Amino acid sequence: MKKKYLLSLVFVLLSGVILAQNKYAFNSIDSLQEPVKITTWDLAKYDASLAWGGFKNVFASPFKWNQDDWATAAAIGIGTAGLHILDDDAKRYFKDQEKDIPSIVRDFGWYFGSPQNNYGVNGGIYLVGLFTKNEKIRRTGILMITSASAAGLVQTVAKKVTGRARPSDGGKFTFKPFKPGGGYHSFPSGHTILSFTTFYSLSKQFDNPWIKGGLITAGMISPVSRLWAGAHWLTDVALSVALTVVVVDSVDNYLDKQMKSDTELKQAKRNRISWRLQMGPSSIGLRGTF
């Protein structure tokens, strides 16, 4: 009997030692662990946090600009001001070209730059990446949607605050801030921002200069189509393209720093799991709690 009690005591003491071990000790025993899986819902939640972080970063970035960034901003402003000289001539030139442009090209420029169509394409790309768990496609979708949302907010506010007249409603220096109606919502160009956001974001996923150039050229169809239609001044379109580049680059840099790979996500989830050895009268096992 004494021997039996002694063995029981030893077993209890050993069990206590094992249960008192640091939980990460069990992480090294892969054979006792269930494999960590990242679900579609896990990815969706993580991507939503990235999109929100990238969105906020766009508006916080100017407070962190260095001297070179401010020099670039000044150059864009000066260049846009210089283009004002060409606004009237550009208006007549592009309007004269409209009749020679194939309708399919003009239609593409209009429809692809419309919010419902543009977000449909961007959202579709992201969903493909999400459900196939393709990291690169997911990242591209996040970049597109976040950039379009941030730049879209800027253009919505700017249209009302500047109140610039469209070429058909007034001169290039005609401004009526907060005037209702589309006639005084010329600056900036929403079609330009949405369309160029998508194609510029796509171009950043390729190293081949020909592919990059082709995508950027396709992205310029909507901006130029607004000039053919006489809906915007040249300066509206030029500054909208510059704004798009700044926003997309800001979000892209944020994702470079913040987005974790699938392997890193699995490791982070594994580290949140607390492993415990459980013993019963007729069983022994490892339980993970997270």
Q: What is the pLDDT of residue 172?
A: 86
pTM (whole model) above 0.85: no
Q: What is the pLDDT of residue 280?
A: 56
Q: Which residues contact 113 (CB under 8 A, 6 or more apart)?
A: 190, 191, 192, 194, 195, 222, 225, 226
For residue 61, is pLDDT > 80? yes
User: Residues 228, 128: contact at Cβ < 8 Å?
Assistant: no
pLDDT in tens, 231-240: 899 999 999 9
Region for 60 from its dihedrals, namely left if φ exceeds 0, alpha if ψ lies in -120 to 50, beta otherwise: alpha
User: Residues 213, 220: contact at Cβ < 8 Å?
Assistant: no
Q: Which residues contact 91 (CB under 8 A, 6 or more apart)?
A: 167, 227, 230, 233, 234
User: Residues 129, 137: contact at Cβ < 8 Å?
Assistant: yes
The stretch 211-232 carries a mean pLDDT of 92
User: Residues 172, 84: contact at Cβ < 8 Å?
Assistant: yes
pLDDT in tens, 124-177: 999 999 999 999 999 999 999 999 999 999 999 999 999 999 998 888 888 899
Q: Please give the Cα distance from 196 to 113 (Å, whole number).
A: 8
Q: What is the pLDDT of residue 179?
A: 86
- In this prediction, residue 274 has a pLDDT band, given cuts at 50, 70 and 90, of low
For residue 21, is pLDDT > 80? no
- In this prediction, residue 283 has a pLDDT band, given cuts at 50, 70 and 90, of low
User: Residues 268, 36: contact at Cβ < 8 Å?
Assistant: no
Percent of the chain surpassing pLDDT 90: 47
Q: Which of 102-111, 116-125, 239-248, 255-264 has the lowest mean pLDDT?
A: 255-264
Q: What is the pLDDT of residue 151?
A: 93
For residue 95, is pLDDT > 90? no
pLDDT in tens, 169-217: 888 888 899 888 888 998 989 999 999 999 999 999 999 999 999 999 9
Q: What is the pLDDT of residue 23?
A: 42
Q: Which residues contact 36 (CB under 8 A, 6 or more apart)?
A: 266, 269, 270, 273
Q: Please give the Cα distance from 216 to 212 (Å, whole number).
A: 6
- In this prediction, residue 252 has a pLDDT band, given cuts at 50, 70 and 90, of very high
Q: Average per-residue pLDDT in the chain?
A: 82
